Amino acid sequence: MLDEDHKSLFLNWLGEHGSSVMKVARAYTLTSDECQDLAQEILLQAWRSLPNFEGKASAATWFYRVALHTAMNWHRKDKPRRARQQPLVEVQVLATDGAGSAEQAQQRETVEQLYQAIHQLPKTDAALVLLYLDELSYREMADVLGISEGNVGVKLNRAKKVLSELMKGQSHEQ
């Protein structure tokens, strides 16, 4: 593949699937700086892996697979440093103008609670939940994770139950 074709394809896929990169990065990190670092690492790995894309999976499945594998490897390699370093405060800027600002603040809080709950799941379950939140089919989730569709259903139901309990516990704490 020519460099220009490679670049064009990568930029096209990034436009279509870039949100999945940020979702995966956010689920595997504690701070916004770490999220940005991991997102950059995912994009770098996707760029490097593009010449090896064989077309056996869809672009979305391939992009997710690269993102999840990179995130899991990054998480494993970075674990010793993160064990010593926890975020002091995560600062969020909330919109204060407009009629829906209280509703927006509530939505942001709920999303933040969801990500906190996802952080507590085993990493493969967290990956499965992210794929589900992105509305991938069971077949697509199975392709990304390398498991059967039946296993996707079983693992997803278990993960949903755990998430539900974690979310209930978080809402009672506040």
Domain boundary among 59, 85, 111: 85
pTM of the model: 0.58
* Dihedral angle, C-alpha 34, 36, 38, 41, nearest 10 °: -140
Domain of residue 6 covers 1-85
Residues 173 and 128 in one domain: yes
Q: What is the pLDDT of residue 45?
A: 92
Q: How far apart are CA 111 and CA 155, in angstroms?
A: 22
Residue 28 DSSP symbol: T
**Picking from 17-31, 89-103, 126-140, which range would have the lowest pLDDT averaged per residue?**
89-103
Q: If DSSP codes are grouped into helix, strand and coil, which group holds residue 31?
A: coil
DSSP string, 91-152: --PPP-SSTTHHHHHHHHHHHHHHHHHHHHS-HHHHHHHHHHHTT--HHHHHHHHTS-HHHH
Which of 41, 57, 85 is the last residue in one of the domains? 85
What are 94-119's pLDDT values in tens digits? 344 444 677 777 777 877 888 888 88
Q: Is residue 94 part of a domain?
A: no
Instruction: Count Cα neighbours of 101 within 13 Å in the Cβ-side half-sphere.
Output: 7
For residue 154, give the H/E element and its range: helix 149-173
Residue 5, in any domain of the structure = yes
Q: 64 and 113 in one domain? A: no
Note whether 1 and 81 are same-domain residues: yes
Neighbours of 92 (CB within 10 A): 10
Tell me how many domains the chain contains.
2
